[in-house]
Amino acid sequence: MTESMIDATMAALAKEPALHGIHLTGGEATLDWKRLLYAIRSARRHDVAIDYLETNASWCADERTAHEGFLRLREAGLPAVLISVSLMSNEFIPLARVQTAIRAATEVFDHRGVTIWTPEVFHRMQMCLEPDRTHSIEESSKRLGFDYRGGELWHWHSYLIPAGRAVEQLAEGLPRHAAESFEGDACRRTLENTIHFHIDPFGNLSTSHCLGISVANVGNLHPTIDADRRPVYCQLAEGGPVWLWRGLADDFVPDPRGYVSKCHLCLELRKHLHATGRYDELRPDEYYRE
């Protein structure tokens, strides 16, 4: 997000009476410290409460770096952090960095300001993995006593939602269902759920876990949604991805292997529709790049 977009976002959120707090996330927000500190200060300036920053601890190479980093964040106004740890992130980030992050963050924010996501996974990883190196999912799951292709990876990381990149990267071995089997599974409640939402670097708002579908932005967080202007959203809200397929994408050929979830089918349909260039509610474009 540019600094002006950060300010526009905070200004828009400041006008939301029902908003309790926000979290800052990425990708990995610490990839750009200057911008991250700007965002924290902007939230304070606009009186928008920050709940926490999500980080994968990749930057916590040693105690001093970690301590100083968390101190800078706290001094800018950050009250808490969520440190994520998973077999997926351990493919790139050694456990030692997570351990360093947890120690340093606890010194700076106190234990009340540090959430490990998730403690059960972290605990078992500490028992079975080498802290100073990364492990492929194949290797780490083997060390933990399961085959990652059998669906147990999802059981382990029970917060994973079978949508987006997760179904593209982690669907091996999961049961699949014919596209038609999702008939009648409408998405209105999910799409209208604003308890958890995300705003992307361009100011587009996506509700719930439905990333890549945006009918609101920081310029107008409460648009009138009609089927003429937002056909994809309305088809999904009314009847789910099968309605979207029948209504807007009858040339879509479903994968004969089936889909692990309705959101998996939805993603493939949306990629198909995005390629036509006709639906600007399918944004940002970056989401749909292979």
Q: What 8-state DSSP symbol labels residue 48?
A: P
Q: Which stretch binds ligand SF4 (CB under 6 A): 59-67, 71-79, 80-88, 236-244?
A: 236-244
Q: How far is the CB of 168 from ligand SF4 (least distance, A)?
A: 13
Integer angstrom CA distances of residue 200 from 10, 173, 210: 13, 32, 12
Q: How far is the CB of 200 from ligand SF4 (least distance, A)?
A: 15
Burial class of 19 by CB neighbour count within 10 A (0 to 12, 13 to 18, 19+): middle
Residue 43 binding ligand SF4, by CB under 6 A: no
Interface residue with ligand SF4 among 137, 266, 273, 282 (CB under 6 A) is 266
Do the beta carbons of residue 8 and residue 203 sit within 8 Å? yes
Q: How far is the CB of 249 from ligand SF4 (least distance, A)?
A: 13
Pairing of strands 216-217, 204-207: antiparallel
The candidate with the shortest Cα–Cα distance to 88, out of 169, 145, 26, 208, is: 169
Distance CA 51, CA 136 (A): 32
Q: Which stretch binds ligand SF4 (CB under 6 A): 52-60, 114-122, 219-227, 259-267?
A: 259-267
CB-wise, 73 or 263, nearer to ligand SF4?
Answer: 263
Interface residue with ligand SF4 among 87, 98, 263, 282 (CB under 6 A) is 263
Binding site for ligand SF4 (CB under 6 A): 163, 187, 190-191, 210, 236, 240-241, 262-263, 266
